[in-house]
Structure 1
Amino acid sequence: MVHLLNADRYYIDTLRGDRPGPLNPAGGRATAVEFATERAEVDDWLVQFCETLTPQALSRQISIPWPDRTLTETVADTLLHVFLHGQHHRGQVHAMLSGTSVPPPQIDEFSLADNGEARVEDLAALGWSEARLTQ
């Protein structure tokens, strides 16, 4: 999860047009609360950024520094990568938790339109409602 948070920060920097800082594999968050706070800040930024996007903004080209070259990608393709990367690693964590006494979170039926009861607690934690999802 630290890798995922660091990677999301890296891509947020590129989406903002900033030069991304180096990834910190160790994390640097001293407590679970610090990690959760930063994760929420990153998620909030991504949601707000996506809510403002236009077709023109999605097609904008950005530069992503890579170890051996600079990638040129659209905002749309970069966001697709960010979200698939996140789903991949969240799936890994889900699988790891499934082998423990800690129940894994619901991640696979969250967005089904007729399955609102599966997301009530998650929406409440975000301060969201079903009405916000349909805006």
Structure 2
Amino acid sequence: MTDAIRFIRKLAFANMLANDRLHEAISLLEPGEFEAPRTSFFPSLVATLNHILIVDWFYIDALEGGTLGPKAWEEEIPFPNPKELRNAQRTSDRRLLTFCQSLRGEDTARPVHIHRAGRIQVERTDDVLSHLFQHQTHHRGQAHAMLAGTSIKPPQIDEFIVADDAASRADAMQRLGLTEAEVMQLDS
């Protein structure tokens, strides 16, 4: 496995772990806090986290060769319920991880056809993945900041997936059914 592929796969694991930890905190909110108006790019936790998921659908579909395009945005908040949203995000994260695990060195330069309104954008696979991971991180940070105004302490979500962090990620690893060997790519 090339270092680039290993890096992409580790980003997919980090993304999954951060989303799980964020959604775990969301599951502990008092009634009304998930939907409550907040100051950020999107006006609430429910809007922010649904946006993350919708953009995941858009880009993961394109990476897989699909044509979903702008249809991804047909429903602004497809999951108003935090438990259903968490399950949908977990499914999306697994889909992204599976895609990243299927990559081989030559695949990173493969063109991705992104169906936009009225045009098709063509980008490299590694560039689309880089953008998708950055998008997730950006909006997770906003949700993290919004949590500071709730009854729940914002969780640690900036793990770098290094060996020394193993003990601190054990909770999320257990919830997700992941092993250290998978995350650290010891079997590859």
Note the residue ranges of structure 2 that are not aligned, 5 or more in a row.
1-48
User: What SS is found at the alignment partner of 1:17?
Assistant: coil
Identity of aligned residues (%): 38
C-alpha offsets along residues 70-115 of structure 1, whole Å, 9 cap, x if unaligned? 2210111001111000000000001111232212121113523212
Greater Cα shift, 30-39 or 55-64:
30-39
| Partner in structure 2 of residue 127 of structure 1 | 177
| Partner in structure 2 of residue 31 of structure 1 | 81
2:113 to 63, 66, 73: 63
Q: TM-score, normalised by structure 2?
A: 0.66
Give distance in 1, aligned partners of 2:60 and 2:113. 12
2:48 matched to 1:6? no
- Once the two structures are superposed, the pairs formed by residues 36-51 of structure 1 within 5 Å of their partners are 36-51=86-101
Greater Cα shift, 64-73 or 32-41:
64-73
Q: TM-score, normalised by structure 1?
A: 0.90
| Partner in structure 1 of residue 129 of structure 2 | 79
Report 1 or 2 for greater relative contact order, CA contacts < 8 Å, sequence distance ≥ 6.
2
Give distance in 2, aligned partners of 1:55 and 1:131. 21
Deviation at 1:68, TM superposition (A): 5.4
Note the residue ranges of structure 1 that are not aligned, 5 or more in a row.
none
Q: Aligned pairs, how many? A: 135
Give distance in 2, aligned partners of 1:32 and 1:99. 17
